[in-house]
Amino acid sequence: MIRFEHVTKRYPDGTTAVDDLSFEVAEGELVTLVGPSGCGKTTTMKMVNRLIEPTEGRILLDGEDISGIDPVKLRRRIGYVIQQVGLFPHKTVLENTATVPHLLGWKGAKAKDRAAELLDLVGLDPSVYGDRYPEQLSGGQRQRVGVARALAADPPVLLMDEPFGAVDPVVREHLQNEFRKLHQTLRKTVLFVTHDIEEAVRLGDRIAVYGAGRIEQFDPPATVLGAPATPYVADFVGADRGLKRLSVTPIELSDLDQPPVVHVDDPLPARLPDDARWAVVLDADDELRGWISASDAARGSGTVRDRTHRMEAWLPLGAPLRQAFATMLQHDAGWIAVIDEKSAGRFLGVLTPARLHEALRRSTAADAADVDRAEVTLHTVNTPG
């Protein structure tokens, strides 16, 4: 969708902002450009909508060299969101959002309907916020209006230059989550600039890590965190990259242990299967009902149902390992149950702390070798004594 071919930008004063850059962004993909200040991210972005012209190389949009496209027409295909949103202070939120539809020649009511629909889409109730002026909004709400306005012409491409950089961390995380969901619905091709590695990891399908004027690594977040391509990247993503990686590594089937299982309608057994200390309790459809301990089972008559404890610590398959770890801590649980949301909550197995650690190590090795996680064998050094 967007393709850079050996693009270099040298400013008149001799600064080489971008040096021989080649990469491609697929249709519907969200790519984050991340790197320290001054490494050429904004320059890269502004070359896509021709606010800046490259010195060498070319940029293709949908296979078409953009140097041959009229800039005004080009920008209609590309939404642009920046940190200083640049809303018109004397226009209402609805009028600001309707700017682009108006420019496209839509008549009053149609443009307003479109604007209201977009405000709704970014989580601002048009009947509450539509008639306000920008100064009557919080920073986070202004950024939402900026996103709504950029989407107004329904462009296939969105450029976002540190759009959430000026809002406080809590609001920023909220905006990030919403934008991620919005992207999953709209499937625009997005280039998203940030200097914040956490943001880059949270949002990107792939991340381009910039050094000075060059891309040091262009990979999915888990790979950048698990197998940094250069010492520069390792340094940039930080010493806690293992922890960050938990957020982008999903629970897989091969990570799960199969504990002893009993069913709710079974008579209470004197002993649990395998003489285990506890067992998972399922119903007739293999859905999770809870757990039972060996001493519960040994006590009295009746069915398993009578002695089943509720199980609060469970997650769907595919949830990030970080959430699994947080759930263990929250419920002070030595394991969590993993279910299949796709088949009505069928129980799949349990994840233990040891298996979680193993999953992380395995996925790192798998990314480095470019194989499936299940194919990786770990060599563990046993501690002496």
Binding interface with Mg ion (CB under 5 A)? 42
Rounded distance between C-alpha atoms, residue 195 and residue 197, angstroms: 6
What residues contact residue 122 under an 8 Å CB cut-off, 6+ apart? 144, 145, 147, 148, 151, 178, 182
Q: Does 43 bind ligand ADP (CB under 6 A)?
A: yes
Q: Name which of 43 and 49 has its Cβ closer to ligand ADP.
A: 43
CB of 11 to ligand ADP, least distance (A): 3
- Nearest 5°: CA angle at 195, between 190 and 201? 60
Q: Which residue is nearest to Mg ion (CB)?
A: 42
CB of 209 to ligand ADP, least distance (A): 12
Rounded distance between C-alpha atoms, residue 5 and residue 310, angstroms: 58
Q: Which does 183 bind (CB under 5 to 8 A by kind): ligand ADP, Mg ion, none?
A: none
In terms of phi and psi (left: phi > 0; alpha: psi -120 to 50; beta: otherwise), the region of 89 is: alpha
Q: Name which of 193 and 317 has its Cβ closer to Mg ion.
A: 193
Q: Does 38 bind ligand ADP (CB under 6 A)?
A: yes
| Part in contact with ligand ADP (CB under 6 A); list of ranges 9-17, 183-191, 248-256, 374-382 | 9-17
CA dihedral 130, 136, 140, 143 (to 10 degrees): 60
CB of 353 to ligand ADP, least distance (A): 40
Q: Which does 43 bind (CB under 5 to 8 A by kind): ligand ADP, Mg ion, none?
A: ligand ADP
* Tokens encoding 346: 């069928």
Q: Which residue in 3, 30, 32, 40 binds ligand ADP (CB under 6 A)?
A: 40
Q: Which residue in the block uniquely carries the two structure tokens 């060299």? A: 65
Q: Please, are residues 320 and 298 in contact by the beta-carbon 8 Å criterion?
A: no
Rounded distance between C-alpha atoms, residue 32 and residue 193, angstroms: 6
Rounded distance between C-alpha atoms, residue 98 and residue 126, angstroms: 12
CB of 7 to Mg ion, least distance (A): 17
Interface with ligand ADP in residues 50-79 (CB under 6 A): none
Q: Does 139 bind ligand ADP (CB under 6 A)?
A: no
Q: Which does 148 bind (CB under 5 to 8 A by kind): ligand ADP, Mg ion, none?
A: none
CB of 216 to ligand ADP, least distance (A): 13
Q: Does 47 bind ligand ADP (CB under 6 A)?
A: no
Catalogue the long-range contacts made by 10-15 (C-beta closer than 8 Å, 24 or more residues apart): 10/55
Size of the site for ligand ADP (CB under 6 A): 12
Q: Which residues bind ligand ADP (CB under 6 A)?
A: 11, 13, 15, 17, 35, 37-43
